[in-house]
Amino acid sequence: MIDVMAPDAPKATQREWIGLAVLALPCLLYSMDLTVLILAVPHLTADLAPSATQLLWIFDIYGFLLAGSLITMGTVGDRIGRRRLLLIGAAAFGLVSILAAFSVTAEMLIAARALLGLSAATLAPSTLSLIRNMFLDPRERGLAIGVWVASFSAGGAIGPLLGGLLLEHFWWGSVFLLNAPIMLLLLVIGPILLPEYRDPHARRLDPLSAGLSLVAVLAVIYGIKRIVVFGFDWPCVPAIVGGLAVGAIFVWRQRRLPEPLIDISLFRCAAFGGSLVLNILMTFIAFGSLFFMAQYLQLVLGMGPLEAGLWTAPSGVAFAVGSMLAPLLVRRFRRDYVIGASFVVTAVGFCLLTQIAGTETFSLFMAGFLLFCVGIAPVGTLTTDLVIGSAPPERAGMASGISETSFEFGGALGIAVLGSIITAAYRIDMADALPDGLPSDAAAIAKDTLAGAIAVAEQLPHEAGAALLDVARAAFTQSLVLTSAVCAAISILAGVIAVVLLRRVTSRIEPEPRPATGAANAAAPRQAVAPSRPD
């Protein structure tokens, strides 16, 4: 049972707390990048005219490559230094964001998003592993991870506001240009304020394992997309089966390598493995839900980007507050109960969202939306803290990479699966509800996406266009209702999993190894990762 405190663990200094503020910058950027892109969907669709599959890939390829590369980049960071990797990734992310901003085709934007995913993979493991090494006291680490998670939520609140403001006055590519100044700021102050940590016994990078992990993730997700969009055609089943087979080979190789990318033995710990499962489920429903809720505000309710951004901003505040309160809740209640109750509240929020098929439903939508945000907020902080706290200090980099892989993979998978469910449900409803007299090519476009139906309606006479809009928006709303029901069921399942798998984990985290007596040995735990601070 993980229930021992470490009152004499080394305390963080002012330098660590200032460094935490620096580490929050890339985390802030991740969620800003996601939310502003969601708001840009109608503008992007009108300009680049992506198909439904291409639109999903514009969102998904970023998360897929990020998830597939996190553990590899974590190993690279252990070898060359986590601060150095962070700064290299910041420079690459800023440059590729400019490329994405000026994309002229859907294919070019997909390629730019892929490069953004690879660049972000150099940033993600560095932030959490640095926090693990900078904050050794369990309470301070819990608070630092709460700030780390809250920075994602703050970005989610800021992103719609800035993105909506930009989209009111500029083209959709301007939302990517937000990344450049933030990364430039990180490049300037990072070398001054952040310490450098290297693992003197870092594992060698195994290119074959890195390739296997990436292929496994991409193949399975590609197969899922094919099934939803095209049905069970011949490429989808081989892709899924092949991806699972490659994943099995990856696990087999990790068990036999003397220096694996992933230490499989970590998953034998219920706290570690159970937390990862919950993290995946949490980000699955959170990211997937945000994907279609922003579209509902703009495409169904007819809000502009700025107005939609203003209405989604409170969700970021709810996430941030919940993330910061999580460490306080587990001081009074069992961790498994707090996580389980959080998922139950989330399920109630989604149940409210299943009732929005009527006409006067905006208040009901906002109530369900905010309740879902409040409920899910503590989960990310508690599961991340548990993963990092239950892993040995010398495996902090690997644990960080695995934790963030589960986070990014769950989010990307949620967008893919829930977005595909919405697309499939929308097409089924539209196939039976299209107004008579539409040309075949216009009907095909209208059945593909709601944005396409809106574009077609604008070219039709007023009455015909209004009729098409009514059925298209009703079809999209029904698909949102269906997806909310799926998310509610997943939330209940996750709550049960939390209570079952984490029942032996109390509110407290395993302490750092107690320092040896004497001032000379007081910093021994920090030396396990060979810190090298800037002059």
**Whole-model pTM over 0.85:** no
CA distances from 1 to 273, 503, 505 (A): 15, 9, 6
Pull the structure tokens for residue 70. Answer: 């996190």
* Rounded Cα distance, 422 and 441, in Å: 22
Average pLDDT along the chain: 78
Type of residue numbered 163? G
- Residues 410 and 217: their CA atoms lie apart, in Å, by 11
Q: What is the pLDDT of residue 521?
A: 33
Residue 491 host element (H or E): helix 462-501
Rounded CA-CA distance 71/424 in Å is 33
User: Are 318 and 370 contacting, i.e. CB atoms less than 8 angstroms apart?
Assistant: yes
Residues of the chain with pLDDT under 50: 1-7, 507-535
Residues 6+ apart with CB under 8 A from 256: none
**Cα–Cα dist 494/343, whole Å:** 7
How many residues does the structure list for the chain? 535
Q: Rounded distance, CA 334 to CA 506, Å? A: 5
Q: What pLDDT does 139 receive?
A: 72
Q: Tell me what pLDDT residue 31 has.
A: 67
Run of H or E including 531:
strand 531-532
pLDDT score, position 523: 34
